[in-house]
Structure 1
Amino acid sequence: MAEAHQAVAFQFTVTREGIDLRLSHQAFTEIYLSGVRSWKKRIIGLKNSVVTGVYPASPSSWLFVVIAILATMYTRSDPSMGLIAKIQENLPVSQSMSNQCQTLVSALLFSTMLWLLLIFTMRMCLKQLLSYHRWMFEKHGKMSTTTKVWVALVRIFSGRKPLLYSYQGSLPNLPVPAIKDTVKRHLESVRPLMDDTEFERMTQLASEFESRLGNRLQWYLKLKALWATNYVSDWWEEYVYLRGRSPIMVNSNYYGMDFMYVTPTPIQAARAGNSLHAHFLYRRKLNKEELRPTRIPGTVIPLCSAQCERLFNSTRIPGEETDTVQHWQDSDYIAVYHSGRYFRLRMYQAGRLLSPREIETQIQRILDDPSAPSTGEAKLGALTAGDRIPWAEARTKYFSSGVNKRSLDCIEKAAFFVSLDDEEQGVVADDPASLDAYAKSLLHGKCYDRWFDKSFTVIFYKNGKMGVNGEHSWADAPVLSHLWQQTLSTDCFQLGYNAEGHCKGEVDSSLPPPQKLSWEIPPECEEQISQSLAVAQALADDVDIHVFAYQEFGKGRIKKCRVSPDAFIQMVLQLAYYRDQRRFCLTYEASMTRLFKEGRTETVRSCSNESSAFVRALENGEPAHVCRRLFQEASEKHQNLYRLAMTGSGIDRHLFCLYVVSKYLGVESPFLKEVLSEPWRLSTSQSPMHVEMFDIVNHPEYVSCGGGFGPVADDGYGVSYSFMGDNILNFHISCKHSCPETDSHKFGDQIRTALQDLLQLLSPIRTECHSAEGVAARREETPVGETQGKGKQKEKSASITLGSEERRVFFFS
C-alpha cells in the first residue's frame, strides 16, 4: 500500500556488496514539518500563557512601569520608599557589579514586583466586581446608580483585547448556598405536585434534615469549596456522566441540525470538504486563543471558557466502574466511517491545512473505495452505543494490543469523528415527518455508524445535508453549538462553492489516499458487538421524536407583550403538559453557571405555585384580566428562579453535592434520597442560537432548526426549543413509544395551541371576546386520551438528573 511505504523514512537491504540504504525524502520532510508545526504550537501556547497570566495587564506594561520607576529615580526621588536600597544591599552578586549597575538591577527587581502586585490587585478587583450579581435582579430598563458605577469599573478593569482564556483567573468561585435557603426553595418547588398530606410529610423530612444531618454535610461541602476551583463540576462530571453504566446514545448524547431550507450543495463530498475545512479553521483559532471570550449577550460580563479546551482531540474511554475523558494536545487527522469501513484522513500536507477542494477529493476517494469491511468491522461502532461495562470489557480483552489497538487509537486520538451516511435526510416539502426522521438519524443513526464516545461526530448525508452528534460528559451544548454554527456560517458565507457545486481551490496531485484501518475481530468479539447492537437498537426503536418550526410568531412578538421570551415558552410548556396529562410534574429547565470558574449547569424548576395557579385559572375559565395578572406573577417568578440558578443559588446542584458527601460519610438521609428519586417528567432546554453569525434579514432561508436530545424519563417528555431571529420558534420533542401516556406529536399539537392561546391572552390589542372563557372552552373540546392519569409506579432509586442529560446513577454500589 502506498501509504504504508510513505510511512517508512528509510529502508535498508543487506547484500553481498554491502548494505543498500534508501532514504525517503518525502517521509523525512513530513517528519520535519510535523515537528515544526508542533513547536510552533508550543511557542504560541507559551506566549498565550504569558499574556493570559498577566491579564488584565499586558506584557508591555512591565516596560512602562520600569521606565516610570527609572524616570522618578533620575529626578532623585525614591518611589520605593527605601525598598530599592534594601534590595541593593541583599543582592547576592553585588560585589561583582558597579554601584550604578546594582542600582539598575535593584530598580528592575522592584519594578517587576510592583508590576506583579498591580496585576494581582487588578485581578482581585475584577474578581470582586464579577461577584456582583444584583444587576440581574433589577427591572428591565431601570439601572441603579450602583450598577452604572459597577459597569464602568468592569470596563476599566477588564483590559483590552482579551484572549479566550484571559478572564479565567478573574472569575469568582461558585458559592455554596445556605442549607435553609435550599430546603425552603425545594419545598416551594414541590408544593404544586403534592397534596396536603404528602407535603406535610416532605416538610417534616426537610426539617429533620436541616436541623440534624444537613449542617454536618454542609460543613464538608464548604471545606471542599475552599479547596476546589468549583465544588460541583468534578463530582457532576464523574457521578452524573462518567459513572453511568447505561448507553450514552439517546440517554446522554444530543444532536444539532443543518439549515432547514437550504442545502448549499447536493454533493456529499463537497459539503464535507468545506465543512471539515471550517472545523479546522475554528480549531486553529481555538489553539491560538483568538476566539473572543463568551459574554452574556448585551453585556461586558465574561463567561467561563474552560469547557472549550476539550472540544477537539477528546474521547470518552469506557471503564468497568467509571469512564474517563481523555484529551490529546493535537491531532492532524480525522477518523471517517463509510459503508462499514474506517479510514484515517490526514488534514495536513507539508505542514499546511488541506484546501476544501483537496478535502473533497479525499472524501470522494473514500466514497469510491470498493473494498469490503473486515470481519466484524461494519458494526463495530455499536460497542459505543450499548451498555458501558460490556464495551469496557471488550476493549480490554480485544483492543489492548496488536492491529486492533493501533486502529482503535487512531479513532480515539482523531480530532473528531466523521460519518459518511448513505441515506438522504432533511426537510421534504410534502412529507411533514421528514424532520422527525432527520432528528432520529442524528440522535442514533443505525446505532453502529457513529462513534458515540468521541467529543462529537459530524454526519454527512448523501444529498449534501449534514448534522452533528455530541457526547455530553466533556462539556455542555453551548460549546459545541458555537463551533457548529460558526461552521455553518463559514461553509456558506466565506468558503462557498463553484457553479457545479464543488469546493473552490486547487488539488495537490501528490496527496496520499486516506488510510483504511485494519481490524482482526475474533468471533467472541463479534458476539459482543451483536449484543450491544441489540441493546442499542431496542433503545433507538423506542424513541419517538417530533420536530417542528413554528412560524406564526416569534421572539419579536413575545417581547411586544412585555414578557421574557423564555418565561413565555416555559408557561406554554406548563399549559401544554397540563392539557396533555391533566396534572403538573417536576419540570427541569437547564440553566448555566458559567459566571463562575468551571461552571456548568443548574436546574430551574419551572413548575411553581405561581405557574400552576395561572394554568388552573386559564383552564377554569377565569376572566382574562385575572389570568393576565397570574401570568405576570408566574413569569416574574420564573425569571427570578432563573437568575438565582445563574448566580449560584439554585437547588439541585447543592442537594446533589450534599448527597455525594453523605455517601462518602456512609450516612443515610431519607430527605436527600427522596429528593434525588423524584422523576423529571418534563425536561426542557433552550438551544443557544448565535444569530450574529447569520444575516437573517437578507437571507431568511439560512435558518437552522437547532438541536435536541432524547427523552429523560420513561414516562415523560424532553423538549428543546430555540428562538431563530424574531419570527421563528423551533421545538424538538422526544418521548418513548413504550409509554402509552406520551406521544410527541400530540404534545406538539398542545404546544401549538398553547402558543396561540397565550399570545391571544397577552396581545396588546385585545377585545373582550378574547377572554379566558373562550380559551377554556376550546380546551374542553380537546380529547385528553384514555390513558391519562394512569401513572406508572417507578422504582424509588436515588438518581441524579439534569435536563437534556439525565442519568440514573447508583452511587458507590
Structure 2
Amino acid sequence: MAEAHQAVAFQFTVTPEGIDLQLSHQALSEIYLSGVRSWKKRIIRIKVGNNVISGVYPASPSSWLFVVIAILATMYTRSDPSMGLIAKIQEHLPVSQMSTQCQAVVSAVLFSTMLWLMLIFTMRLCLKQLLSYHRWMFEQHGKMSTTTKIWVALVRIFSGRKPLLYSYQGSLPNLPVPAIKDTVKRYLESVRPLMNDAEYKRMTNLATEFESSLGNRLQWYLKLKSLWASNYVISRFSFVFQVSDWWEEYVYLRGRGPIMVNSNYYGMDFLYVTPTPIQAARAGNCIHAFFLYRRKLNKEELKPVSTVIPLCAAQCERIFNTARIPGEETDTVQHWQDSDYIVVYHRGRYFRLRVYQAGRLLSPREIEFQIQRILDDTTPPSQGEAKLGALTAGDSSGVNKRSLDCIERAAFFVTLDDEEHSMMGEDSAECLDRYAKSLLHGKCYDRWFDKSFSVVYYKNGKSGINAEHSWADAPVVAHVWEYTLAVDSFQLGYNEEGHCKGEVDSSLPRPQKLSWEITPEISQSLAVAQALADDVDFHVFSFRDFGKGKIKKCRVSPDGFIQMALQLAYYRNRGTFCLTYEASMTRLFREGRTETVRSCTNESSAFVQALEGGEPADVCRRLFRAASEKHQHLYRMAMTGGGIDRHLFCLYVVSKYLGVDSPFLNEVLSEPWRLSTSQTPVQQVELFDMVNHSEYISCGGGFGPVADDGYGVSYMFLGENIINLHISCKHSCPETDAHKFGGQIRKALHDLLKLLSPNLKESNKTDEGRPEVKKDK
C-alpha cells in the first residue's frame, strides 16, 4: 500500500546522551513511554461509552447479579463456598454499626464481586490464548484437523454473546517478536531472485555479521518493549494525549514531503449508476449516512470485523473528528471526542455546516437544503482563501494554525466539485482515469489532505473519498465507505425528482462562511503539489472477462493468481524482476496494522522464466502451483506475526536510538519497492446484492506510485466475474506506462487462465458474467 513509499526513504536522527556500552537511556526511555501510552489507553477505554460492557466481556454486567444471588443462596443452605473467606472479609469490615446479618450479606456481595472479576480474568486469559492459535490458517482448505475443530468450539464458548465493537480488544494477543535468525533467513530468501551471485554473497555476509553481533543487542530492546507495550511496532496512545509511536511517527508523521499522491489514497463511487444527478441531494443523503455510521461507532453497535476470529478495532477510534496537525519536525494526529459540524469547500470558500440542531441530527433533506445554500452562495473567496488547501498538498509546514482550527476539528471535510465524472462516455477508460486522478489529488488545493478523510461530490452527483494514511489503513476507510454507499442507495433513497426524502425546517441557520486573514505564501506549496500531480499517470479498468469464480475452479487462491499475473506482467514489461510489496493486515493482534508480503520469490521467478522460456505446459503448471502456494504461505506468515519487514523496521529504529550504524539495516531500509500492490476486499457483502443488483458496483480505490520508476497496483474482486484494477506510475520515468502495464496485466490474466485450465472456455468473447451496463440515473 502507500505506506511502502514512506518506509523506503524515512530517516531520522537521535542523539542520545549518556550512552554506555550496554544500555541506551534514550532507547529505554522510548520503550518505557510506549508502554505508558499503551496502559493509559487501556485505562481510558474503561471510562468511555459502552466500555463497562466491553471491559467485562466475555461476561456481562448482569452475570454479576447471578453470581451474587448464587452465593447468597448457598449461605441460606448453611454451606460456605468461600471456604472461610466471607468470614474473613466480615471480620475486617470497617462498619461496626451494621447488624451481624447485614455484615454477612455485604461480605458475601464483596466476595461474589471478587469471584466474578476472577472469572472474567480467567475467561479473558483463556480467550487470549485461544486467539493466539493460528494453525487453522495453514491447514488445507476443506480439511480441518481435530485440534482446530476443538479450538473453534472453545472460541465460541469463551467468546460470549453479542459482542460490541471493542469487546475483544482486551483478549487479543500481542504481536510476537520474530527471532533474528528467522527474519534474516527469510530476508535473504526474498532478495535471492533480485541479485546476482556476487551481490547475494555480499548481502549474505552483511546479514551474517548483523545476526551474530548488533542484531542480538537490538533484539533485546524489542523484546523488552513487547513485554511492556501491547504492540512492539505500534503501541500508540490516541485521543487524549495525541502521542504516536514508532510506525505512525517514523513512517508517516516525520515525512516532510507532500502526502498528496505519496501517502493519501482514494475510494470510488458506484461504477454503473449514480443514484441521483443532483449534487446537493447526493451530499445530503451521504453526509447523513456518515453520521449514522458515527453514531453506531460511538455506541459500539457495529459488529466486530472478523475472519474466523475477530480483528483489532483500535483504528476505528479516529475515523471522525481527526486531523493531521503540521509541525516543524514532525506532524501529530489529533482526535477530538465529538464534532457537530463539517467543513464544506466550494469555489474557493470554506463553510462550517452544523449537522445537528438542538441535539438532533439533520435529516438528509435538511442537509441537502443547507448544501444547496452553499452552492447558491455568490460570496467571493477572501484573499488567498481559494487555494489555501495547497498547504496540505505541498511540503509539510506548520502555518496559521489558529485559522485552521475549525477545519481540523470538523467531523470530516467535504468538497463540492464543479467537475463532472462518470465512466459513461465515448472513452469510458479515459473517463475512469480522469476520475481516479481527481480523487487522488484534484486541483491540489480543493481537498483537505490533512483530514482523516475528505468526501468529494461532483456536479453530476458522482462522489468519492480521499483518506489520510497515518491514522488508519484502507480497510477501515473502506468499511465506512461501503456502509455510506449502501445506506444512501438502499435505505434512504430519493424521491421521483431526485431529491432527498423528508421535509425541511426553513428556519435552519445558514452555513457559516469562514473568515481568513491569510499571510503565508501558498504559491510554493501549490507549485510543488501541481508538479507532483501532473507527473502521475493513472489507468483504471474493470476486467470483466472472468473473475474469482473461474480462478477458484482452477483450485488456486484468487489473490495468489493476481500476484503471479503481476509478476508475469512486470517481467514482460521491464525484462527483470523487482522487490514487490503486497500489503497484509496484522489485525489478528492488538493494535495491529500492516505487514509486507514479498511477492517476488524464487518460486515465482522460476515460474515466469519457465513460461517465457517456452517450457512445457505441465512443467509451467507445476511451477505455478509451487509459486502460488509459496505466496499463500508468506501471506499467512505475515498475518500471524511471521513477517520480516516490520521487525527490520523496528530494529532500525532501535539502532538509531542507540546511535549505532548497521550497514545491513541501512541497505534493507533503502531498497525501493518498484511494484507496490494491495487488495481491497468487500467487507460487508450483506449490504450489496451482487446477483440482482450487480450494477451497484464500487470500483474500489487506489494510491499513487511508490517509487519514481515503479508501479502502484490496487485490485478488487467483485462478485465472481469482475476484477477492478487501479494502476499508477509517473510520466517522468520513460520506462513506465500505466496503460501499457494494464495491457500486460490483461494478457497475463488470460495466459494464466489458459495455462491452468486449457479446456475451460473463457468468456472474453462473450458477455457472460458481465453486469448489465445501465446509464447513470
Number of the residue aligned with 2:712: 718
**Counterpart check, 1:642 vs 2:635:** yes
Q: CA deviation at 1:765?
A: 2.4
Number of the residue aligned with 1:446: 443
- CA separation in 1, counterparts of 2:451 and 2:738? 29
Number of the residue aligned with 1:79: 81
Q: Percent identity?
A: 81
1:596-626 Cα shifts (integer Å, max 9, x gaps)? 0000000000000000000001000111111
**Counterpart check, 1:138 vs 2:146:** no
- CA separation in 1, counterparts of 2:332 and 2:229? 20
Q: CA deviation at 1:450?
A: 0.3
Letter in 1 for 2:691: V
Number of the residue aligned with 2:461: 464
Number of the residue aligned with 2:305: 294
Number of the residue aligned with 2:351: 343
**Counterpart check, 1:322 vs 2:316:** no
**Counterpart check, 1:148 vs 2:116:** no
Q: Over aligned residue pairs, what C-alpha RMSD do you find?
A: 1.3
Among 302, 311, 314, the residue aligned to 1:306: 314
Letter in 2 for 1:348: Y
Given that 1:44 and 1:288 are in contact with CA atoms closer than 8 Å, whether structure 2 keeps it comes out as no
Given that 1:561 and 1:764 are in contact with CA atoms closer than 8 Å, whether structure 2 keeps it comes out as no
Q: CA deviation at 1:428?
A: 2.4
Letter in 2 for 1:85: A
SS in 2 for 1:588: strand
Number of residue-to-residue matches in the alignment: 707
Q: CA deviation at 1:640?
A: 0.3
Number of the residue aligned with 1:374: 382
Among 689, 693, 703, the residue aligned to 1:709: 703
Among 91, 99, 104, the residue aligned to 1:89: 91
For residues 545-564 of structure 1, the aligned pairs below 5 Å read: 545-564=538-557
SS in 2 for 1:373: coil
- CA separation in 2, counterparts of 1:324 and 1:433? 38
Q: Quick one: structure 1 residues 651 and 46, their matched pair in 2 at CA, closer, same or farther if it must change by over 3 Å?
A: closer
For residues 457-606 of structure 1, the aligned pairs below 5 Å read: 457-522=454-519, 525=520, 528-606=521-599
Number of the residue aligned with 1:244: 255
SS in 2 for 1:96: coil
Letter in 2 for 1:707: G
- CA separation in 1, counterparts of 2:226 and 2:584? 21
Q: CA deviation at 1:521?
A: 1.7
Number of the residue aligned with 1:801: none
Q: Quick one: structure 1 residues 727 and 72, their matched pair in 2 at CA, closer, same or farther if it must change by over 3 Å?
A: same
Q: CA deviation at 1:649?
A: 0.7
Q: CA deviation at 1:347?
A: 0.1
Q: Quick one: structure 1 residues 100 and 215, their matched pair in 2 at CA, closer, same or farther if it must change by over 3 Å?
A: same
- CA separation in 2, counterparts of 1:47 and 1:365? 35
**Counterpart check, 1:421 vs 2:417:** yes
Given that 1:164 and 1:290 are in contact with CA atoms closer than 8 Å, whether structure 2 keeps it comes out as yes
- CA separation in 1, counterparts of 2:64 and 2:517? 60
Number of the residue aligned with 2:120: 119
Number of the residue aligned with 1:796: none
Given that 2:253 and 2:331 are in contact with CA atoms closer than 8 Å, whether structure 1 keeps it comes out as yes
TM-score, normalised with respect to structure 1: 0.86
Number of the residue aligned with 1:616: 609
**Counterpart check, 1:753 vs 2:761:** no
- CA separation in 1, counterparts of 2:112 and 2:48? 23
1:299-343 Cα shifts (integer Å, max 9, x gaps)? 2x0000000000000000001100000000000000000000000
Among 243, 246, 253, the residue aligned to 1:235: 246
The structure, 1 or 2, with the larger RCO (C-alpha pairs under 8 Å, 6+ apart) is 2
**Counterpart check, 1:178 vs 2:179:** yes
Given that 2:450 and 2:468 are in contact with CA atoms closer than 8 Å, whether structure 1 keeps it comes out as yes
Q: CA deviation at 1:764?
A: 6.5
- CA separation in 2, counterparts of 1:106 and 1:261? 67
Letter in 1 for 2:297: L
Given that 2:49 and 2:298 are in contact with CA atoms closer than 8 Å, whether structure 1 keeps it comes out as no
Q: CA deviation at 1:46?
A: 4.7
- CA separation in 2, counterparts of 1:444 and 1:746? 23
Number of the residue aligned with 2:163: 162
Number of the residue aligned with 1:269: 280
Deviation beyond 3 Å, 4+ runs, structure 1: 42-47
1:485-518 Cα shifts (integer Å, max 9, x gaps)? 1100000000000000000000001101100000
- CA separation in 2, counterparts of 1:516 and 1:601? 40
Q: CA deviation at 1:688?
A: 2.2
Number of the residue aligned with 2:365: 357
Q: CA deviation at 1:45?
A: 7.0
- CA separation in 2, counterparts of 1:592 and 1:537? 32
**Counterpart check, 1:408 vs 2:404:** yes
Letter in 1 for 2:90: Q
Letter in 1 for 2:63: S
| Deviation larger for 328-337 or 43-52 | 43-52
**Counterpart check, 1:679 vs 2:687:** no
Q: CA deviation at 1:766?
A: 6.1
Q: Which 5+ residue runs of structure 2 have no aligned equivalent? A: 1-43, 235-244, 763-777
Given that 1:712 and 1:718 are in contact with CA atoms closer than 8 Å, whether structure 2 keeps it comes out as yes
- CA separation in 2, counterparts of 1:755 and 1:680? 22
TM-score, normalised with respect to structure 2: 0.90
SS in 1 for 2:50: helix
Given that 1:45 and 1:288 are in contact with CA atoms closer than 8 Å, whether structure 2 keeps it comes out as no
Given that 2:192 and 2:200 are in contact with CA atoms closer than 8 Å, whether structure 1 keeps it comes out as yes
- CA separation in 2, counterparts of 1:587 and 1:408? 39
- CA separation in 1, counterparts of 2:474 and 2:45? 31
Given that 1:555 and 1:723 are in contact with CA atoms closer than 8 Å, whether structure 2 keeps it comes out as yes
SS in 1 for 2:528: helix
Given that 2:709 and 2:729 are in contact with CA atoms closer than 8 Å, whether structure 1 keeps it comes out as yes
Number of the residue aligned with 1:107: 108
- CA separation in 1, counterparts of 2:668 and 2:603? 21
- CA separation in 2, counterparts of 1:176 and 1:43? 26
Letter in 2 for 1:283: R
- CA separation in 2, counterparts of 1:760 and 1:382? 48
1:102-129 Cα shifts (integer Å, max 9, x gaps)? 1101100000000000000000000000
- CA separation in 1, counterparts of 2:759 and 2:158? 46
- CA separation in 2, counterparts of 1:487 and 1:104? 52
Letter in 2 for 1:362: Q
- CA separation in 1, counterparts of 2:48 and 2:459? 43
1:62-86 Cα shifts (integer Å, max 9, x gaps)? 0000111111111111100111111
Q: CA deviation at 1:692?
A: 2.5
SS in 2 for 1:371: coil
Q: CA deviation at 1:426?
A: 1.7
SS in 2 for 1:251: coil
SS in 2 for 1:262: coil
- CA separation in 2, counterparts of 1:179 and 1:154? 32
Number of the residue aligned with 1:655: 648
Given that 1:62 and 1:112 are in contact with CA atoms closer than 8 Å, whether structure 2 keeps it comes out as yes
- CA separation in 2, counterparts of 1:764 and 1:118? 59
Q: CA deviation at 1:348?
A: 0.7
- CA separation in 2, counterparts of 1:722 and 1:137? 24
- CA separation in 1, counterparts of 2:504 and 2:681? 37
